[in-house]
Amino acid sequence: MTKTAVESDEAGVFDALGLAFAADPAVRWVWPDPQIYLSHFSSFAKAFGGKAFAYQSAHYVGNYCGAALWLPSNIHPDVEQLISLLQSSGSDQAKKDGLKVFKKMGSYHLN
């Protein structure tokens, strides 16, 4: 059964998402080193989709064996935090080209 996540569920939701994205090519391009990935993915997930908790659009199943963060229309990720995280912890290549790559990826998403 799907449950709506609240703030106290953040750690479990972010851990589930961290496991789900552990082999995602784009995310691992930013953080190819496993320790760095594990250290920063929760901050990335919070900056990217953390606003879902305030809009009751963060969900999980079971004991956090799966999770999803959905942002309503016209609610956007915390871009400043994402850029800061990319520049402070991303791979050298991601620091150099990340903004261009993610801007291009974003052009395929509807608002």
Amino acid identity of residue 108, one-letter, is Y
In tens, the pLDDT along 42-75 reads 999 999 999 999 999 999 999 999 999 999 999 9
φ, ψ for residue 76 (rounded to 5)?
Answer: -120, 160
* Structure confidence at residue 110 as a pLDDT band (50, 70, 90): low
| CA atoms of 76 and 33, how far apart (whole Å) | 28
Q: CA-to-CA distance for 90 and 96, rounded, in angstroms?
A: 9
Do 41 and 17 touch, CB atoms closer than 8 A?
yes
Flag whether the pTM goes above 0.75. Answer: yes
